[in-house]
Amino acid sequence: MLTVIVYGLAIGAIYAATALVYNVMYSTSKVLSVTTGHIPMLGGVFGAYFIAGLGLPILVGLAGAIAVGVLFNLLTEIVAVRRVLARSDEHLWLLSTLAVATMISQVMALWWGTEPKPFPRLIPQEFAQGIGDQKYWLPVLAAAVCAGSLELFYRRTMYGKLFIATSEDAFAARARGINTDRVRALSYMLSGALGGLAGFAAGQLTFAFFALGFALTLNGFIAIAVGGLGSNLGAVIGGLALGMMSSFATYLFGGEYQQTVAIGILILVLVIKPEGLFGSKQVRPV
């Protein structure tokens, strides 16, 4: 039973980190990008490529994985978000980000291959460690670093306050001279870094596998919907709760119910508390 809990926490941490990535992007653009889950996927694949493929030191591999996340998400913002938001208020970004997600998934399948590949051991440790194995606690540590650093960023830095200002009222922020386009681009770069880090930390658990992107996009979305869009605390709680419930459902009922439970949780929360556990109700003046 202890392994059920530990595994649930580990996988929940990956979902939590993905939900945080969603939040950071949403806060400045009001876009729920379908490419979100692909950022950790790229972090894992490129981490494996840099370290195991090119033989680079682990820290260089980590920096490389984060850099790939940053670049990919910046490209997403330029190609699939900025132009769409400039032209329309409709949710066309859903299609444009879906297109980018599909393209990057296919490119990775062609270049990296369609079979999962191993992710290297990051810390010297024997394999038979049970719940003490680094593959469980590295994702948890990464999620904690992502959440902690975001809190520090928002509270203690000027750019963090610019992000908050833009997310609360983009028009007012622009009126005060804030370049909201640049803030949005920076937020996408920041979220790309977080996603790259999360994927790198989770690589030993998930393997370096091109097909993880859409699965993480879905589960990250469920986590943020459960926790509350716009709330980082909600993202963390939602992700961990989703991971734990999926793990217990698999243990008690079988693997075929894993996705059923995940979607069931989403539907339940949307029915009872549509804004999520920690989200705030949208007030619309009439």
Site string for another protein, 9-28 (x = CB under 8 A): -xx-----------------
Beta bridge partners of 208: 117
d(CA 116, CA 114): 7
Specify the stretch interacting with another protein by CB under 8 A; choose among 24-32, 173-181, 249-257, 275-283. 249-257
| Sheet strands (E) in 142-224 | none
Q: Is 109 in the site for another protein (CB under 8 A)?
A: yes
Among 215, 273, 275, 277, binds another protein (CB under 8 A): 215
| 47 contact partners, CB below 8 Å, separation of at least 6 | 61, 62, 64, 65, 119, 199, 200, 203, 208
Alpha carbon distances (Å) from 195 to 188, 190, 282: 10, 9, 27
| 119 contact partners, CB below 8 Å, separation of at least 6 | 44, 47, 48, 52, 203, 204, 206, 207, 208
Specify the stretch interacting with another protein by CB under 8 A; choose among 19-27, 66-74, 127-135, 185-193. 127-135
In 3D space, the residue among 17, 51, 16 whose CA is nearest the CA of residue 192 turns out to be 17
| 242 contact partners, CB below 8 Å, separation of at least 6 | 12, 15, 219, 222, 223, 226, 262, 265
Among 27, 36, 206, 231, binds another protein (CB under 8 A): 206
- The distance of closest approach from Cβ of residue 110 to another protein in the complex, given in angstroms and rounded to an integer, is 6
Q: Is 132 in the site for another protein (CB under 8 A)?
A: no
Among 83, 161, 251, 273, binds another protein (CB under 8 A): 251
Among 127, 156, 284, 286, binds another protein (CB under 8 A): 127
- The distance of closest approach from Cβ of residue 47 to another protein in the complex, given in angstroms and rounded to an integer, is 15
d(CA 51, CA 80): 31
Among 130, 171, 282, 285, binds another protein (CB under 8 A): 130
Among 118, 148, 264, 274, binds another protein (CB under 8 A): 118
Q: Where do contacts with another protein occur on this chain (CB under 8 A)? A: 3-4, 7, 10-11, 106, 109-110, 114-118, 127-128, 130, 135-136, 205-207, 209, 211-212, 215, 250-251, 254-256, 258-259
